[in-house]
Amino acid sequence: MISDAPTIAVRDLASLEDQMVAYCVIARAKAADGLTLTELAELIAAAMRIAVATVDSIPADGAQKKQWVLDAVAMVFDQCADRAIPFVLLPVWYLAKPAARQLVLTAASGAIEALLPFLRGKK
C-alpha cells in the first residue's frame, strides 16, 4: 500500500502539523512516478485517520478538531493530487482543481463523522 511508508514516518511525531508535513514529504517521494486515483484516495484516507486520531486526544471543541482534520486533508490533496493527473490533462486539471478540492473536502467532512466511532472503538 502506498500509504504504509508515510503512515510509519509520522508515528513518533507529536503535533498534527509535524505529522502532516512528514506525511506529505514521504507521500510525494513515494508518488514520484505518479499516482492512480485509488492511491490518491488511499493517501487522503490514511492522512484523515492519522489526523482524527491525533486531534481526538486534544482538548478542544468538535468544530475546531474537525477543521484541523480538514486542513490536513487539504494539505495532502494540495501536495499530492497533481501527481494523479496525466501530463496532457494538466491544463484542464488546473481549471478543475478547485472544484475537485472542494469535493474531496466535502466528502472528508462527512467521513470524519464516520471515522470517529471506529477510531474510538479501536483504543
Cell numbers given for 48: 484523515
- Report d(CA 63, CA 112) in Å as an integer: 11
Element (H, E) at 5: helix 4-9
What pTM value is reported for the model?
Answer: 0.84
67 band by pLDDT with thresholds 50, 70 and 90: very high
Q: Based on C-alpha coordinates, what's the Rg of the chain?
A: 14
Buried-state track 84-109, b at ≥16 Cβ within 10 A, e below 16: bbeeeeeeebeeebeeeeeebeeebe
How many whole angstroms from its chain centre is CA 84? Answer: 14
Q: Does 50 have pLDDT greater than 90?
A: no
* Residue-level pLDDT at 122: 57
pLDDT in tens, 69-95: 999 999 999 999 999 999 999 999 999
